[in-house]
Homo-oligomer: A and B are copies of this chain.
Amino acid sequence: MDGSDLPRLLLEAHRVLAADLDAELADRGYPDLRPGHAAVFLAVDRRSGTRLTELARRARMTKQGMMLTVDDLEQRGYVRRVPDPEDARAKLVRLTARGRRVAAEYRRAVQAIEQRQRRDLGERRYEQLREVLERIVAPEEHEVA
């Protein structure tokens, strides 16, 4: 009745939940945050900060792509770049005080989304969904256990 192929279905599902996440954050008073920012807020080490390249690796994207996101967050005052004392090439992306507050909201917003899905899908199906997606995204980490 709809005929969507699997790749497209994944994209559509992403959009639905990304819109939900956006709405959650707007409700919590941060209308300028977008779903893509989650990749940083949820991946950055809260105390020490994290290198750009490492953030990119965690989000499975290029460092150039991650830079655009970090640039955006820096401009909005949520993170700042500080030199990495251990390597003069590197910088650490670190949350500002404001950024830490937002990171907390982010985690709550994501939890709200995921809990809604748990409720709608049931615990077992939810867990399987996550497992299956991670398997598609990073097959080598799910070798014949």
Report A's interface with B, CB cutoff 8 A: 1-14, 16-18, 20-21, 35, 38-39, 42-43, 58-60, 110, 113-114, 117, 120-121, 125, 128-130, 132-139, 141
Contact = CB atoms under 8 A, between A and B. Distances in A.
B9 A18 contact: no
A contact face: mostly helix, strand, loop, or mixed: helix
A121 B12 CA distance: 21
Taken together, the copies of this chain in the complex come to 2
Contact of A13 (B10, B110, B113): B10
User: Most B CB atoms within 10 A — which of A5, A59, A120, A139?
Assistant: A5
A11 to B, nearest CB: 4
Contacts of A135: 120-121
A134 to B, nearest CB: 7
